[in-house]
Amino acid sequence: MKSKDMGINVSLRHITKRFGKAKTQVVAVKEFTFDFPPGKLTTLLGPSGCGKTTVLRCVAGFYEPDQGDVFIDGQRVNDLPPYKRPTGTVFQNYALFPHMTVFENVAYGLKIKKLPTRSIQEKVAQALALLQLSGLEDRSPNQLSGGQQQRVAIARVLVNEPKVLLFDEPLSNLDAKLRVYMRGEIRALQERLGLTTIYVTHDQEEAMSISHTIVIMNKGKIEQAGTPLEIYRRPRTPFVADFIGTTNFLKGEVQEVDEKAIKIKMPGIIISLRFADGYKPGEEVWLVLRPEMIRFAEEGEEKGLSGKVQEVSFLGSLARYLVEIEGGDQIQVDEPNPKHFRQKGSAVYLILDEEALHLQKVK
């Protein structure tokens, strides 16, 4: 289990998977095509029923796609059963054998392969050391914490030296604090080993914190793929913008477009942005903006978008305000490390971070 310089390629081409009989058939995944970056952690993210686990199981071999091809390291593997594929899967349910010790659980796959006893002992010791489980070899699963059980499940997969590591919502059974700890451990482990890793979750924060690449799925299709920063700052569709984090959608009208800038007219204000291709005067647009990208104008500062505070919520590290702006739209504004709270009903002026503002066309 040495560190690797580069993981192997996993490519999916036009994968379609259906479930059920003809009249009640459900299309879980439709025309899914993607090249997973080798040696990186890619997260399939989306709401329940979007098809992310189905994609993972097509890679693992637990599902055979109705259409399309799965390639691992350049080889088409559609007809290979799971045990012949160079993949290892960590499930949501750890599936540890309760009557076996930690050592026996991790060694189980190696014994099935009939490896020599000495080789099994060496490989298990390496895997346990990698997962910081040395010294727990003789314990049974019910003597371990949730985080330790999860690490045993990962060790059991890694000891078989897979070329592709698959995670199917592995942290959903853990409490909030342990989830945060374990996702850091998984990211560090992946980077140390350099394995091509596919990770499934519906937790946006989890995906943002561990992923090199995020694939947002909706109704069996890819909505957008990119780095966490790209997904967050430049969502391409209203679904992505609304699914990732908290988002404000402000409707405006393109007033003027030239080679350097585009001017957007909103109630009581005109916003000038860097040139954006594909927009014409008179066209309606959405201005997409996160709550933390809006701030309150200070006294003596040039006034921005006018509004009135409707609600105030204290969230510990920040105060979240619901502000009704001129024209009747309501938006959320986050103020970090608040020294005092603005009163409900008070008039405010808002300054928008024009560098962070993102446009989408109104369809």
Decide if 350 contacts 296 (C-beta within 8 A).
Answer: yes
Write out the CATH class of domain 10-242. alpha beta
Query: What gap in Å lies between CA 127 and CA 159, rounded to an integer?
Result: 6
Query: What gap in Å lies between CA 299 and CA 246, rounded to an integer?
Result: 28
Which pLDDT band, with edges at 50, 70 and 90, does 328 fall under?
confident
Between the CA of residue 89 and those of 159, 167, 179, 252, 285, what are the distances in Å? 12, 6, 18, 47, 44
Q: Of 59-68, 176-185, 302-311, 315-324, give the range with the top mean pLDDT.
A: 59-68
What ranges make up the beta strands (E) of the chain? 10-19, 26-36, 41-45, 67-72, 75-76, 87-90, 164-168, 196-201, 213-218, 221-226, 248-257, 261-266, 269-274, 284-289, 294-296, 305-314, 318-325, 330-336, 347-352, 358-361
Looking at residue 2, what is its pLDDT? 54
pTM tops 0.85: yes
Looking at residue 275, what is its pLDDT? 67
Query: Cβ contacts of residue 27 below 8 Å, gap of 6+?
Result: 16, 17, 18, 220
Q: Where in the chain is the domain with CATH 3.40.50.300?
A: 10-242
Looking at residue 37, what is its pLDDT? 96
Q: Where in the chain is the domain with CATH 2.40.50.140?
A: 248-361
Give me the percent of the chain exceeding a pLDDT of 70: 98
In this predicted model, what pLDDT tens digit does every residue of 220-257 receive, in sequence order? 999 999 999 999 988 989 899 989 988 999 888 999 88
pLDDT averaged over every residue in the chain: 91
For the four alpha carbons of 248, 53, 158 and 7, in that order, the dihedral sign comes to negative
Question: Under CATH, what is the fold of the domain 248-361?
Answer: OB fold (Dihydrolipoamide Acetyltransferase, E2P) (2.40.50)
Which pLDDT band, with edges at 50, 70 and 90, does 331 fall under?
very high
